[in-house]
Amino acid sequence: MKEGGDSGLERLSSGVTGLDIILGGGFLAGGLYIIQGQPGTGKTTFGNQICFNHVAGGGQALYVTLLAEYHARMMQHLSIMSFFDISKIPDQLTYFNCLQVLHDEGLKGLLALLRREITTRGASILVLDGIVSARRAAEDEEAFNQFVHELQAIAIATDCTMFLLTSSRGTQVTPEHTMVDGIIEFTDQLVGWSAESSLQVIKFRGSASLRGRHAFKITGKGIVVHPRIEALLARPSRPDVGGTGRVSSGLDQLDVMLGGGLPTSSTTMIMGPSGTGKTTLGLQFLARCCEAEPGLLFGFYETPARLDAKIAGVCRPLRGLIDQGAVEVIWQPPTEDLLDAYGERLLQAVQRRKVKKLFIDGLGAFRQASGIEPNRIGNFLTALMNEMRVLGVTTVYTLEVPDIMGPSIRTPIGDLSSLAENLVLLRFAELGARLRRLISVLKVRDSQFDGSLHEYVTSDQGLVIEATADSAERIMVGLANLREDEQDGITQPREGRDLL
Amino acid sequence: MTGIVLVVDDEFGIAELIDAVLTDEGHRVLTAINGRQGLAMMAKERPDLVFLDYMMPVMDGAEVLSAMAGDPSVAKVPVVLMSSMPEATVAERCSGYTAFMRKPFKIAQVVTLTVKLLNRDGPDGQGAL
């Protein structure tokens, strides 16, 4: 469980998914850490999880409560967690309640007991749950500081990493905060009717850590932390060498409009109202994958069954690629997880198969998952897309845009230019009693492109785009005539009905 | 029959609960927070029954049972071993207890076991009930 870090200080892996990444490799062996948070935020689960992970690797751990909490009850609650392994108790993991020792013998007695038990058992992790009791037992602040100081001396002398679990004291800084090697704060925050848990490394000596808040969940596996994507990828994992060449969009005519296809390793946003064929276009993009250039469909709204039906209906070649493993489909409902969990899953899926073509169907799901911090979405996507770029991934994603008013496009995620290098717009146009579809390229990275509108239809071959802009021209003219009719009072359409 | 009952447990809430229940039943109850304290109390006053926690600091239940077995003055005193772990796990690590009570337990179990063990014809100090 112990590993050497960059600083040369020995590291102790927490075994808590995601946390070691935030800590730059784990806790420092022999360090003293405060884990603070309101009751119910997961401190006890965390403390136990660290102990069980440690003993699973052959270490010895000691869990000491200073609370009127019953170990039997605690174990009942923990027994549903996958990390809980009763066979490790008591030989490798021992539970003591030392509240009475504290009452009878004070802090000195408690220190003596801890030192003896750590030494006798060779414990390399100590969790002290309920440090508030020790504070209450102290005669004064000085006595408590002395206790923490001596505890730190024991930690260093025995190479035992210690975790002091305590209820949050908010923003109040107490002397022990300045003495310990690190502080992690757990927070639970209401978001509408639901709650979100997050942690923050407030202090971490001897190493850099990912600053700011990171979301976590308490699952059947215990605490799972999701490092904030924009912190994790603040700098892409490798230099951007600048992709050259072009990648087919999946539609020959669209490739022509794009000036030769999508620039390699670029990001493309397909915008448009519901029903315009955004997903179909994305499927066609993936249908040009091959074993050497694997693809990934990362979707939210179309369930696997609906997706299968759509592929059968409009993009049959993709079926074979999925069956052969050249394209992977990962689907999750947009309400299932945390924003960073989605980002992490996407990143891992891309890295695992060295994906070269990525289609994210439903960018709005990221915004939906951003919950309490919708303003995060811009930085989140920028960091994620920067990483995709350096990994050589050409990304296409869809965004539902209900309001397209002439040249003005309002999106739910703010500044488009920072999120996509190429913009493709799909829209409806009403011509008389018929609904027509138009596609246009609004932007291509560092490239000339055909910016004219083209009509397209959906068919069992997917989207089929007109080779010229002629029919789109006629549609636009027809619309202009209709507007004149409206002005004459012949029809009374709803406001904005006929605007593009 | 009433008697002297010693409860040895670092979880003082449990020791106090057993103390209160058995005091109500007319027994005299002594408490200790670890095995060493428990043995010291036995040396002063021989109990008729011991409720002994397995996992404790300073001296655990297995060490207490071993010490009691080697001391003729208390070797025959019946012991109820208590633990959050299954009996099989505990039994691999110690012997010499009379009954096993898994935590968390019910008050009725404490009363029933106490009556049963204090009213036995003759303590044999061995075997779970």
Cβ contacts of A92 on chain B, cutoff 8 Å: none
B52 within some domain: yes
Q: Which residue is it, tokens 């593009």?
A: A500
B38 within some domain: yes
| Chain pair A-B, CB pairs under 8 angstroms | 57
SS3 at position B52: strand
What is the distance in angstroms between the Cα of B69 and the nearest Cα belonging to chain A?
22
Say whether residue A139 is in contact with chain B using an 8 A CB cutoff. no
> Which of A72, A89, A101 faces B103 most closely, judged by CB atoms?
A72
pTM of the predicted protein model: 0.81
What is the distance in angstroms between the Cα of B55 and the nearest Cα belonging to chain A?
7
pLDDT at A278: 95
Q: CB distance B57–A96 less than 8 Å?
A: yes
B63 within some domain: yes
How far from chain centre, in Å, is Cα A9?
29
B129 within some domain: no
DSSP class of B91: H
| Amino acid found at A204 | F
The 10 Å Cβ neighbour count of residue A36 is 22
> Which of A72, A87, A96 faces B56 most closely, judged by CB atoms?
A96
B124 within some domain: no
Q: CB distance A100–B12 less than 8 Å?
A: yes
B126 within some domain: no
> Which of B58, B102, B103 faces A113 most closely, judged by CB atoms?
B58
The 10 Å Cβ neighbour count of residue A222 is 24
A171 falls in which pLDDT band (50, 70, 90)? low
B103 within some domain: yes
A378-410 residue pLDDT tens: 889 989 999 999 999 999 999 988 766 555 666
Please check the confidence at residue A2 and state whether its pLDDT lies above 80.
Answer: no
Residue A133 phi, psi (nearest 5): -65, -35
Please check the confidence at residue A195 and state whether its pLDDT lies above 70.
Answer: yes
> Residue A62's closest CA among A54, A46, A51?
A51
What average pLDDT does chain A have? 88
Mean pLDDT of A398-424: 73
Say whether residue A96 is in contact with chain B using an 8 A CB cutoff. yes
pLDDT at A482: 52
Q: Which residue is it, tokens 């209906």?
A: A313
Say whether residue B103 is in contact with chain A using an 8 A CB cutoff. yes
Please check the confidence at residue A218 and state whether its pLDDT lies above 70.
Answer: yes
Mean pLDDT of A185-196: 85
Please check the confidence at residue A489 and state whether its pLDDT lies above 90.
Answer: no
Domain count, chain B: 1
B23 within some domain: yes
What is the distance in angstroms between the Cα of A131 and the nearest Cα belonging to chain B?
16
- Of the ranges A157-166, A395-404, A480-489, the best mean pLDDT one: A157-166
Please check the confidence at residue A249 and state whether its pLDDT lies above 50.
Answer: yes
Per the structure, the complete domain to which residue B94 belongs is given by: 4-118
| Complex confidence, ipTM | 0.79
Q: What is the CATH number of the domain that holds B46?
A: 3.40.50.2300
